[in-house]
Amino acid sequence: MKRRSFLRVGAAAGAGVLAACSSRPIPRPGVGVLVVGGGVAGCAVGYFLALQGLEVTLAERHGVAGYASGHAAGQLSPLAVPEPVRPLAAASFGLHLALWDHLRTTSGVDFEARRSAMIRLALDRADLPALERALAATRRDQARLAHALDLGPGHGLDVVPMSGDEVRALEPRISDEVVAALRTDGNAVIDSRGFTTALLRSAQRAGLVARRGEVGALVTSGRRVTEVDLGGARVRCEALVIATGPWAGALGRRLDLLVPIEPIKGELLHLDLAVDHDVGTGVGNDRRGGRDADLRTGNEDGAGPAVDWSGPDSSLYARGGRILVGHTWERRGFDLVPRADTRDLLLAHARRLMPAVATAQVLGHTACLRPVPRDGRPLIGRAPGWDNVYLAAGGGKKGILLSLAMGRAVTELIAHGRTELPIAACAPDRFARTYQVPSP
């Protein structure tokens, strides 16, 4: 594979992980790596491959960030991630913090990256024991995270119990029902569509070629994929990366691979709290206006961390002047249609946290599919039985957070045959079934 100049990217957090790449040359000539899927996973793989100087083409059948990657809440919290994936989540969080500047500069895309706080609300005294347990668990998680990222003092990680009154002093529109809360500092948020686009643009600047088309039939020789059908045309490839999210099983089946990733539907509402609707006429009437109409950031100059709110049944995310209300978790196959009954349920739950939602204007309603692996761990690495096929799929409900570690790990495996990122628990061969090498 052709190799361009090796770019070293590093910054305080995650610099150790970033510097881990060696510059051993890639021995084999060829037409390059074909990454299938223009979601955040595929774009992250493409980004790192292009920065490594490898020849890379990304194939997307519809539009980049057209599915879950363009419609996620954009939370990057590495906390409350189950143990086998926790070290990878911490590493990926470090990569996010380290790479934001590089991505913004090289892509020209502002993906609204900010540090953030999450305030978890208890609506009655019955919720308090759960809040206590969350306090202890979050303290443990944050200590681990600070250690994993080698963060010194003043790293901004904190968890603080709050009374209902303290919560309402911060955001007066929070319901009087709220009796207590837990504020977790040190998280981060991004606009997931902007972020995915930034990865692609930055990769294109480094040489990635993006092609529109569906990858269907795969031509194999021994343990290698040699050609693919891309939108009706045959394309030769040196290596293939399957990054097709909830559709990864379909390409896997063509290679007799078991890829047990299930689509889990999630719906989000986009609300404008600034417009008070005159119920009955439906005519918008801007009574509040300005920053005061947005959810409070916890910092009146707007430069501080964003604040997201979560309750027992719903969450409120302040994003770009809008409030996102989410999110649901449903098994409905590949159904991508937003449902009216889900919208009503989301609004009812959100109203309990913030009664002002009752008069908000619903600007948008999206439904998307999280790629959720059977055991909750993404599939990252070389596909069992194949020498040049890799998987970067199954980010589940943390796919935006995990994307950079997934992209980096797969790139290092392709370029160097090894990675120092902690992906052992994510090896695709844990699902390997009896495998027959196909006849040439």
Ligand X SMILES: Cc1cc2nc3c(=O)[nH]c(=O)nc-3n(C[C@H](O)[C@H](O)[C@H](O)COP(=O)(O)OP(=O)(O)OC[C@H]3O[C@@H](n4cnc5c(N)ncnc54)[C@H](O)[C@@H]3O)c2cc1C
Contact residues: ligand X, CB under 6 A = 36-42, 59-62, 66-69, 72-75, 214-215, 243-247, 251, 266, 268, 326-327, 368, 370-371, 393, 395-401
Shortest Å, Cβ 348 to ligand X: 18
Shortest Å, Cβ 168 to ligand X: 25
Shortest Å, Cβ 242 to ligand X: 9
Considering the complex, state which of residue 384 and residue 399 has its C-beta at the smaller distance from ligand X: 399
Shortest Å, Cβ 41 to ligand X: 4
Shortest Å, Cβ 69 to ligand X: 3
With CA atoms as reference, report the closest residue to 211 among 194, 192, 190, 228: 228
Shortest Å, Cβ 288 to ligand X: 27
Considering the complex, state which of residue 180 and residue 390 has its C-beta at the smaller distance from ligand X: 390
Shortest Å, Cβ 409 to ligand X: 14
Residue nearest to ligand X according to CB distances in the complex: 399
